[in-house]
Amino acid sequence: MASLWARVQTISDSSTSVLTRNLTTLNEEKTGDTPCTTGENVILWVMTRAIETLRLSQLLPAIRDEFDLVPDIRNVDASGHVHPMSDVLMAGLAMMLVQDPSLLEFQNRLEERRRGNNLRTIFGVSKIPKESQFRRVLDPADPSIIQNAFSACVQRLQKTRLWSEYRVLNGRYPVLFDGFEFFRSNKQGCDHCLEFHHRDGRVDYAHQVLAATLAHPTAKRPIPLMLEEIRREDGTQKQDCEFNAARRLIPNLVKQHCHLDLIFVGDGLYSKVPMVNLIIDTGSSYILVAKPTDHVALEENLASLRLCDGVKRLEFTTDKGKRRVYEWVYDVELNGSSSLVTNWFSIAEFAPSGKIIYRNSWITDLKPCKSNIEELVEVGRHRWQIEDQVFDILKNHGYHLEHRFGHGKQHLAFIFIILNFLAYMLHQLIALSDRLFQAAMEKIGTKHKLWDDIRVLLNHFVWGSWDALLEHILDYRDDTGFESG
């Protein structure tokens, strides 16, 4: 332990004052269990307590409660049926959270050496599954019930002051939705693999997912809400597609968050009459990219409106000399063969030289005007967040999104993706709200280095709790908080 302590001591400590301030606040909160009597202080106290529910030590039991509800459809008489479903799911989530595919192996070794392991003390896993058991248990599990863990965490976020930071356009919440592929091979993995036939006779087999993510244009922490697998159904040759997945996902998501005014923000694939009607039917709003090349009839209508000054316009030059031109119209027909009318808006941005640097256009049911056109464009324009801040990070920055954890015959591959997204959500939430984690980030310097340290500490010592581990990194205690008895 002494050498560990010496190593932790050498960790850069360039932000001592910030750290001290955070810990002082934390200590005050820990002892301040009684709310003050004035109204404002009571509200402050309630919000502070709500933020506390977003700490990892609070979120993990909440997720486990959801996992406890996932039915175990294995034959109870089957040999080796000793691991509860929630144990296996929590072990999988731990692996994704720590971003270490060998975590289970390490924890089994710790158990042998120290009669304890971190999967039990931190994640509440009573028995660590072996790799083969792990896959056998997860493959037949119901992905939709596992996903209830997303809303359990989002409901906690909604009770905090952080929730208002995701609000746009008079109290609405923007949901970005987009698809990605996480498996492609020339060998078929399972009966549900999508098939892509090439002209030369080759066939690619793939798995794809549609993801819905809550993301404010200026907030740095997108929160995944729901995933929908794009897959072939049992016993059919019929291919699935992203558009059909959206038809399934949107009503389910609205049902789950029926008290929220959602705006679905999507790319040009979705600016079609059936999708617009579906979103309207759920009582939600939409901001969907409408490329001129995809909407010939709409462009003709806009051209006619321009001739009679029917297009409203706002134009100004920014502090940096960029000229922005916003345009919008109301109740224009989306195509020539449907009675669907929609609102339309666009932006064109020019460099000081006059060269165009950005242009885009969207359709929406919201009513553009001078006071909201900039915000509408911001929301539509930041659809890229789901690609840059979610998919790219999950694929290329430690989450091993495309790592072949296992394919299975039913749902295994998709369940690993769900656990990966849950881990990503937990990372977002604790970075927003877990003061110990934030203080540890301040001390270590970067998220990457902090997780490196956490992995080392988890692989060599048994910790009494997640907080004990962080407090140790923070020089707050010199034991592990684990009573080995």
Binding site for Zn ion (CB under 5 A): 189-190, 193
Q: How far is the CB of 404 from Zn ion (least distance, A)?
A: 11
Q: Which residue, 179 or 189, has its beta carbon nearer to Zn ion?
A: 189
- CA 129/CA 127 separation, integer angstroms: 6
Q: How far is the CB of 415 from Zn ion (least distance, A)?
A: 13
CB within 8 A of 242, min separation 6: which ones?
179, 208, 210, 230, 269
In angstroms, the Cα distances linking 174 to 84, 215, 222 are 37, 6, 10
- CA 236/CA 348 separation, integer angstroms: 46
Q: Which residue, 193 or 470, has its beta carbon nearer to Zn ion?
A: 193
- CA 180/CA 157 separation, integer angstroms: 26
Q: How far is the CB of 408 from Zn ion (least distance, A)?
A: 8
* Complete DSSP assignment for 139-197: TTS-HHHHTHHHHHHHHHHHTSGGGGGG-BTTTBEEEEEEEEEEEEESS--STT-EEEE
Q: How far is the CB of 183 from Zn ion (least distance, A)?
A: 7
Q: How far is the CB of 398 from Zn ion (least distance, A)?
A: 25
- CA 378/CA 264 separation, integer angstroms: 14
- CA 190/CA 413 separation, integer angstroms: 10
At 257, is the secondary structure helix, strand, or coil?
coil
Q: Which residue, 189 or 266, has its beta carbon nearer to Zn ion?
A: 189
CB within 8 A of 245, min separation 6: which ones?
179, 208, 209, 210, 228, 229, 230
Q: Which residue, 26 or 193, has its beta carbon nearer to Zn ion?
A: 193
The number of beta carbons lying within 10 Å of the beta carbon of residue 292 is 12
Q: Which residue, 187 or 259, has its beta carbon nearer to Zn ion?
A: 187
> What element of type H or E holds 332?
strand 323-333
The number of beta carbons lying within 10 Å of the beta carbon of residue 134 is 22
Q: Which residue, 174 or 189, has its beta carbon nearer to Zn ion?
A: 189
Contact criterion met (CB below 8 Å) for 136 and 79: no
Shortest CA distance to 419 belongs to which of 128, 177, 94? Answer: 94
Q: How far is the CB of 221 from Zn ion (least distance, A)?
A: 32
Q: Which residue, 172 or 411, has its beta carbon nearer to Zn ion?
A: 411
Q: How far is the CB of 417 from Zn ion (least distance, A)?
A: 12
Q: Which residue, 306 or 403, has its beta carbon nearer to Zn ion?
A: 403
Residue found under tokens 């049902």: 255
Residue found under tokens 């960790």: 11
Q: How far is the CB of 181 from Zn ion (least distance, A)?
A: 12
Q: How far is the CB of 234 from Zn ion (least distance, A)?
A: 12
Q: Which residue, 129 or 408, has its beta carbon nearer to Zn ion?
A: 408
Q: Which long-range contacts (CB under 8 A, 24 or more apart) does 316-320 make?
A: 320/352
- CA 129/CA 108 separation, integer angstroms: 9
Q: Which residue, 231 or 382, has its beta carbon nearer to Zn ion?
A: 231
Q: How far is the CB of 205 from Zn ion (least distance, A)?
A: 6
DSSP class of residue 293 equals G
Q: How far is the CB of 190 from Zn ion (least distance, A)?
A: 3
Q: Which residue, 190 or 302, has its beta carbon nearer to Zn ion?
A: 190
Residue found under tokens 């989450």: 399
Contact criterion met (CB below 8 Å) for 334 and 363: yes
